[in-house]
Amino acid sequence: MRWIIEYARAVKVGCWIIGAILIVIAVIGVADRYHRQRALLLEGQQVLLAHRSSWGYSTLVRQLATHKLQHSLLLANPLPTGCLPDQYIAEQQRATETRTEGIEELSQYTLRVPIHQMAPLPSPLAPQMRLTKGGIQMTSRQLLGYSCTGRYAVIRETQTRLQPLPLPPRSAIGPAFVDALVVHVAVSHGHEPPLYIDVHFTDDKADLTPVTAADWPTHLSEEQGEERFVRDMVDPQHALHLEFYSEPLAPSFLSLFLSWNGLGLLMMVGMLASVLLIIWLSGQLIDAYGIQHRAATRDFLTGLYNRREAMALAEAELARAQRTPSPLCILMLDIDHFKRVNDTYGHDGGDEVLKFFAQLLSQTLRQHDLLARIGGEEFLVLLPNTDLTGAQSMAERLLQVLRGSTLNYAGTRISITCSIGVTAWRGPEDNMQAMLIRADLLLYQAKQRGRDRCVSDACLSTAN
């Protein structure tokens, strides 16, 4: 599990990147589903409104044709010449009322209207339309003649009514249609003023509500960001013109989207939250493992490797040197007169000296060199790919750095020196334990020779 410690930051960053990618994929998926469902809804509404508007238009055209036919039947019998006697007028009144009795959608009358109250009559070819009791009523009048007294005009009136019928079944895409949508309709016929109607669609019927010209939209174009149903239908034969203009087809689609996909969205959010929680817990475990590993392998005071970890790393480095083969040296260092520092400045001062000493060593050694604290004031340096001459040069350099550095503690400048034992790996028959024993003996020799110096295998060979 050492690789977790070495790549802890990369592992945590990688986990969070994976989490971020999953979130981005989820957001893109939700956005795509939102736009697809909205497009299907708008398409379904357009298709269904086109179907229903065409059906309503054809129904109105049939009613108009029926109205004209009913009115023309009244003219099948020729009118008497000259003025119309009262007896004839009375017979016509009874006949028209009897003919339409029991027919709910048709009413016909023969009326006597005082001449001074005569108004322009709606032609049978262009009947007057108005909305009454939720249905469209068409009314036309035709002048038959005048009474023999000359005081009355005789008029024949035809009324037909179109009551809202059950709507045709929805198409395959119809279930996506949102009920309670309002469609504005303007009905123009001939020279009559337009009839303005608001159609409130429900699941199975259309409720008609009369409105005024002021309620009709001033423009029949789609506003920015709004989808509407706009349609013009014209029947030149009957001079009929219908304009359809709906309210926005998806004014609050977000609420519909949430109601349609609420369970799936909750499950997705739950899964993402679980993934993020797992990533967070994994990061906490990595951090905890790193803290535990550092406590087990590092010296708590100086931050250097402790003795146990140093021995394991040294054995691994020795095995690598044997495989290569390559030179390997170790330095054993001991701070001179450290007990005197403790006695003079106390243990806090001694701790500061140890940290200062470790910092100087870390700054002077190469990056691939191994530095460890293996005792109270005793330190070990492992120099891979370094022969005895190079190790001696490094030891001298360390001594020189220490001589030129002082620690400022409690207003006092403390000078530090050390003694160093230097030994090299002697070949396949040599091992780390033997190297440590030799380095310790060489360190003892440096102490015996006056401290602040290094003693190596080469020095002993020369002395011998």
Active site residues per annotation = 377
Report the candidate in 404, 403, 330, 341 with the shortest Cα–Cα distance to residue 377.
341
Positive or negative torsion for Cα 190, 195, 201, 205: negative
Per-residue HEC secondary structure of 253-306 comes to HHHHHHHHHHHHHHHHHHHHHHHHHHHHHHHHHHHHHHHHHHHHHECCCCCCEC
Q: Enumerate residues 6+ apart whose C-beta is below 8 A from 219.
A: none
What is the H or E stretch that residue 414 is in? strand 412-415
Kindly give the pairing relationship between strand 182-189 and strand 240-246: antiparallel
Provide Rg for the chain, Cα atoms: 53
Specify the 3-state DSSP secondary structure of 347.
helix
Return the amino acid letter for 193: P
How many CA atoms are closer than 13 Å to the CA of 255, on its beta-carbon side?
A: 4
Q: Which two tokens stand for residue 74?
A: 């009244």
CA–CA gap between residue 351 and residue 134 (Å, rounded): 98
Separation CA 413–CA 89 (nearest Å): 137
- List the one residue out of 229, 206, 200 whose CA is nearest residue 217: 229
Contact 379, 353 (CB under 8 A): no
Structure tokens at 407: 């620690």
Phi, psi of 333 (to 5 degrees): -115, 145
Q: For residue 222, give the nearest of 198, 246, 187 by alpha carbon.
A: 246
In single-letter form, the type of residue at position 10 comes to: A
To which residue do tokens 């506003």 refer?
A: 223
Query: How many whole angstroms separate alpha carbon 216 and alpha carbon 228?
Result: 15
Phi, psi of 387 (to 5 degrees): -85, 180
Distance CA 396, CA 381 (A): 13
Q: What is the dihedral of CA 169, 173, 178, 184, to 10 degrees?
A: -70
Asked if 416 and 335 count as a contact pair (C-beta separation under 8 A), the reply is yes
- What string of DSSP letters covers 56-87? HHHHHHHHHHHHHHHHHHTTSSPPPSSSB-HH
